[in-house]
Chain A
Amino acid sequence: MTTTMMKTTARIVVPIILVVALSLLLQGHNLPGGGFIGGVLTTVALALIYVAHGLDYLESGVLDREVESGAGIFQHRTVLAYRKTFVFGLAVVAGSGVAGVSFEEPFLTQAFVIVEDVPIYHEIELTSALVFDVGVYCVVVGGLLTILSVVGGE
């Protein structure tokens, strides 16, 4: 599938997908969106890169690092990074749930604070639910991309 047409499409579409994914993640507290759907969209963007350029592109093309050949897909540096992302996300999710408990509130209780007089944005709503969403986002991105690259590698 590494045709010029595919590569050009990926070049245009991937940044758009990533921005949309990020905005969905950030607005998820009060509007449609959230960590899961943001994570799935991000995975789609990276999957497009894989389809267009192959598994090693993120290492060699983007990060400009050597790719060791011969090692199994589970030892692939990108896959290791994905697995770390998954674990990190799970820890963030659990931690954000427990955070409420330490304030003697029920598990998973969330809070928000509205910061006013911010230049350009005027006011920003800072929510603790965003931490939870970021955790979910990491779990989804890490988990789905691990599956995708391992299955794709075989």
Chain B
Amino acid sequence: MTEQFVVAPLVVALLGVVLTLVLRRRPLVQRAASLGGTVAYAAAVGLLAWRVVLAPDAPGAAAYQLGGWPAPFGITLVADALSAFMLVIAAAVGLAAVAASIRVVDRANQRVFYHPLFHGLLVGVTGSFLTGDLFNLFVWFEVMLLVSYVFVAFYGGPEHTAAAFRYLVLNVFGSAVFLLAVGGLYATVGTLNMADMVRRLSDPVAYGIDPAPVGGLTALLIGTFALKAGLVPFQFWVPGAYRAAPLPVAAMLAGVTKKVGMYAIVRLFFTVFGNAEAGVDLPWIPGASPLALLAPLLLAMGIASILVGGFGAVGGDTVDELLAYSSIGQVGFIAIPVAVAAATTSASLRRFGILAALVYALHHALAKTLLFLSAATIQGATGTNRLADLGGLAGRSPPLAGAFLVGSLSLIGVPPLTGFFGKLFVFEASIRRVVTTPGAGGMAGLAVLFLGALLTIAYTTRAWLGGFWGQAPPAVERARIDPAQVAVLVALSAVVVGVGLGFDPVYRFADAAATAAVDGSAYVETVDPAGGDPV
């Protein structure tokens, strides 16, 4: 019996695209189908997570050979705890974003392919998380990007077109570099099936692999994935693109699409290249291996992201600009524990670093979605997002203010919200690194984490003071706040609180995901790519 549940989220999202396209002449049915499709998607993801990880007798991982072709030849889908964890994030954000879109995005614009594109975004994200093939990962990235281009240009004004064009040019360049790296890796390693790559790289001499080009090509991959994740110095597309896209989609881009970049880094550098040697001695990097190369680069990018994002957000004029910069900084918070995990030689700290990054990614996805959707509600009700023109929203709509407060407090890291555990683990990983191997890089990382936390308090306070307290200007007085949107926000804040209160199962899930991320041999065992060996 093939394990159909592995492919289920992908098929459900694909059918969502078709269904919403077919129904585009009946807007009401189309919206219902879009919401229903996302609910079905969340159910499929839940089933996958249950069958793979959470059930008492779960195998921990499952491989799925598309079209029945055996492993190194066909395309393999691999659902392990890491993929399942990321899919759960995507499903949670996707569901909230679609539910909000139905009310937030105006009717005429929803008819213009909004819903099919949204499901297309889900298809791309799902494929990226599930695939066990490097070239296929490239294809899913492209699916995701093609849809994102349309969404950034969605409103069609001059500033949207400009943002979309910048986004397009940058990502076409990034994709070209990615493709170059994929081609190079195929030429040197002789396979693109990730499990097969693990197997061959663990014994490079037997397969005639020259480790030096592998090291260089992986450096190219770091660049592309950092571009997708919006890490400094590749962050400049982020504010424009997020402000141009419809706000529920911005939530999806910040909450999920960015995480795909971080996921790709974790999957490739820890699972696939975890044991590979780079074979070149770089003067300033000890113990030449792709991971050793990743560590200082990611640390530097993480530090720069926290600084640029934090200061940018403090200076933001509108709620969405503030949130866009904030998401640059928050990805830095995810990058630093990954860098710690890459730098360390201790197996337990490596696992813990990934765990911290995953918990932080979950927290950021939930909190940032909540905040972006609140911004959408504010925009819809008052017609503006400028902090200078807002004020007094707390008196106008206490539930809306409450949702924004929960999101902000979670971003700051106040217990018992999800963000508290995210921050706690990120700091713990960083401190453990500094304690075990004192060094300038680790200290700088820790110091910037502190500074970043302070900046987070500063800019969330600023948004709160500007938007919710004080005298209500006429725009706010006249505002009609949509109760359905507020209901979505309240539900999402309940999730943020609930995940923090009932954190134990989430911790075990994230722990299983981190274990899967660093265990290349279990990955190989799941996929079983032995078909490529000459007999």
Contact = CB atoms under 8 A, between A and B. Distances in A.
Contacts of B65: 106
Interface in A96-121: 97-98, 100-101, 104-110
B385 to A, nearest CB: 31
Given A104-B2, A105-B2, A94 B15 contact: yes
B259 to A, nearest CB: 25
Given A106-B2, A107-B66, A101 B18 contact: no
Contact of A94 (B7, B14, B64, B67): B14
A108 B66 CA distance: 6
A104 B1 contact: yes
A106 B68 contact: yes
Interface in A61-98: 86-87, 90-91, 94, 97-98
Contacts of A91: 18, 22
Interface string B1-27: 110100100110011011001100000
Contacts of A100: 67-68
Given A98-B11, A101-B4, A101-B11, A108 B18 contact: no
Contacts of B64: 106-107
Contacts of A98: 11, 15
A28 to B, nearest CB: 15
Contacts of B4: 101, 104, 106-107
B406 to A, nearest CB: 39
Nearest to A97: B11
Q: Is the interface of B mostly helix, strand, loop or mixed?
A: helix
Contacts of A110: 67
Interface in B14-51: 14-15, 17-18, 21-22
Nearest to B7: A107
B132 to A, nearest CB: 14
A106 B66 contact: yes
A100 B64 CA distance: 13
A87 B23 CA distance: 10
Chain A contact-residue range equals: 10 to 19
A97 B68 CA distance: 12
Contacts, number: 48
Contact of A90 (B1, B10, B17, B67): B17
Interface string B55-66: 000000000111
Contacts of B14: 94, 97
Q: Which of A86, A108, A109 has the most CB of B within 10 A?
A: A108
Q: Which of A91, A104, A110 has the most CB of B within 10 A?
A: A91
Contacts of A107: 4, 7, 10-11, 64, 66-67
A57 to B, nearest CB: 27
A91 B18 CA distance: 6
Contacts of A101: 4, 7, 11
A106 B18 contact: no
B103 to A, nearest CB: 26
Interface in A106-149: 106-110
Contacts of B21: 86-87, 90
Q: Which of A98, A104, A106 has the most CB of B within 10 A?
A: A106
A109 B67 contact: yes
Contacts of A97: 11, 14
A109 B68 contact: yes
A94 B18 CA distance: 8
A5 B10 CA distance: 50
A84 to B, nearest CB: 10
Contacts of B2: 104-106
Interface in A12-55: none
Contacts of A90: 17-18, 21
A104 B5 CA distance: 12
Contacts of B67: 100, 106-110
A74 B424 CA distance: 54
A77 to B, nearest CB: 15
A94 B17 CA distance: 10
Interface in B472-499: none
Contacts of B17: 90, 94
A107 B4 CA distance: 8
Given A105-B68, A106-B65, A107-B7, A87 B1 contact: no
B325 to A, nearest CB: 35
A104 B15 CA distance: 18
A106 B64 CA distance: 7
Contacts of B1: 104
A106 B63 CA distance: 11
A130 B182 CA distance: 30
A107 B127 CA distance: 13
Interface string B425-466: 000000000000000000000000000000000000000000
B62 to A, nearest CB: 12
Contacts of B68: 100, 105-106, 109
B11 A87 contact: no
Nearest to B4: A101
A107 B5 CA distance: 11
14 contacts: A86-B21, A87-B22, A90-B17, A97-B14, A100-B67, A101-B11, A104-B2, A106-B2, A106-B7, A106-B64, A106-B65, A107-B11, A107-B64, A108-B66
Q: Which are the 8 A-B pairs with shortest beta-carbon distances?
A: A108-B67, A107-B7, A109-B68, A87-B21, A91-B18, A106-B68, A106-B2, A109-B67
Given A100-B68, A105-B68, A106-B2, 15 more contacts: A86-B21, A90-B17, A94-B11, A94-B17, A101-B4, A101-B7, A106-B4, A106-B64, A106-B68, A107-B4, A107-B11, A107-B67, A108-B66, A108-B67, A109-B67
